[in-house]
Amino acid sequence: MVELRRDLHYYELKEQIEEFLYDEAELLDERRFSEWLDVLADDLVYFMPLRRNVKYGEHAARENTRVGKDISWFDEDKWTLAKRVEQLLTGEHWAEEPLSRVCHIVSNVQILDARPSARDAREVVVRSRFLIYQNRMETETNLMVGKRTDVLRKESGGWKLARREITLDQSVLLSKNLTVFF
């Protein structure tokens, strides 16, 4: 991957990408799940590997499970996410009745690649960090922290999420369920 030139086009693109990610977080926090589905590409890959504690020197090869090969927290597409949304919107989802209060914080947005260029980007690879706060009932709270690597694609004049790989910075999930979207 060639480092992008940090010129005016790069910073204009970065602003667009940051606004997309912040708007997406707002859709999720406001429980506007149907609108959130609209910003997902039809061929979306949504993946969150399990993390393993491994010996020093084995991290690159063994720390995370692999998409399509190993068990994972999520290995989904747009259709399965739409089914999860449908279930949430019935009001009869046992783990989300009443609905959680969720706050997504997105930071450290970095453009890793822009194709064909920052000036005429049609597809962008973006890394970011996240902090998700979830509160259920009176006393259940969860904090989830990690990194995301996204592929955003320009379709019909707007950005769509085509791929998301979510890496939690923990090897044991401490929350009772995984009903939030990342």
The predicted model gives 129-157 an average pLDDT of: 92
CATH of domain 8-168: 3.10.450.50
DSSP result, 11-39: HHHHHHHHHHHHHHHHHHHTT-HHHHHHT
Residue with the larger pLDDT of the pair 95 and 180: 180
28 near 104, Cβ under 8 Å? yes
DSSP bridge partners of 125:
113, 151
Most confident of 113-117, 146-150, 174-178: 146-150
The predicted model gives 149-158 an average pLDDT of: 94
Residue 120's pLDDT is 86
> In this model, does residue 1 exceed pLDDT 60?
no
Cα–Cα distance measured from residue 83 to residue 93, given in angstroms and rounded to the nearest whole number: 12
Centre a 10 Å sphere on the Cβ of residue 145 and count the other Cβ atoms it contains: 13
Domain edges within the chain: 8-168
Instruction: Fill in the DSSP letter of residue 69.
Output: T
152 near 17, Cβ under 8 Å? yes
Question: Phi/psi of residue 121, each to 5°?
Answer: -60, 130
Residue 74: in which H helix or E strand, if any? strand 72-76
Residue with the larger pLDDT of the pair 62 and 19: 19
Question: 77-113: per-residue pLDDT in tens?
Answer: 999 999 999 988 887 766 767 778 999 999 999 999 9
Token reading at 61: 């090869």
C-alpha distances in Å from residue 161, one per residue of 20, 40, 71: 9, 5, 23
DSSP result, 137-164: TTTEEEEEEEEEEEEEEEETTEEEEEEE
Start-to-end CA distance of the chain, whole Å, equals 26
Cα–Cα distance measured from residue 6 to residue 130, given in angstroms and rounded to the nearest whole number: 24
pLDDT category at 62 given cuts 50, 70, 90 is: low
Asked whether the whole model's pTM tops 0.85, one would answer yes
Residue with the larger pLDDT of the pair 15 and 178: 15
Centre a 10 Å sphere on the Cβ of residue 21 and count the other Cβ atoms it contains: 22
